[in-house]
Amino acid sequence: MEKKINTGKVFLIAGSEPLGSAGVQADIKAITRCEGWAAAALTCIVDEDVNRIKGIHHLPVELIVSQAESFLSTVGADCIKTGILPTEEIIRAVAGVLRRYSRQPILIDPVIVNFAGEQLVSDAAIAAYKNELFPLATLITPNVREAEFLLGHRITDPEGDLRKLAQWGCSVLVKSVEEGKYLVDYLYDAVSGTLTPHPKKKLLLDDRNGTGDTLASAIATHLAKGDDLATAVERAEAYMSYFLAGPRYYISTGL
Q: For the chain, list the domains and their CATH numbers.
A: 9-245 (3.40.1190.20)
Q: Is the pLDDT of residue 198 over 90?
A: yes
Assess contact for 165 and 174: CB atoms under 8 A: yes
- Phi and psi angles of residue 207, each rounded to the nearest 5 degrees, phi first: -130, 65
Q: Is the pLDDT of residue 187 over 90?
A: yes
**Residue 245, pLDDT score:** 65
> What band does 203 get if pLDDT is binned at 50, 70 and 90?
low
Tell me the pLDDT of the chain averaged across its residues: 90
Looking at 25-29, 75-79, 85-89, 180-184, which range is the least confident one? Answer: 180-184
Mark 14-26 as b/e (b = at least 16 C-beta within 10 Å). Answer: bbbbebebbbbbb
CA distance 59 to 50: 23
Kindly calculate the radius of gyration of the chain based on its CA atoms and give it in whole angstroms.
Answer: 17
- More confidently predicted of 247 and 90: 90
**Residue 190, pLDDT score:** 97
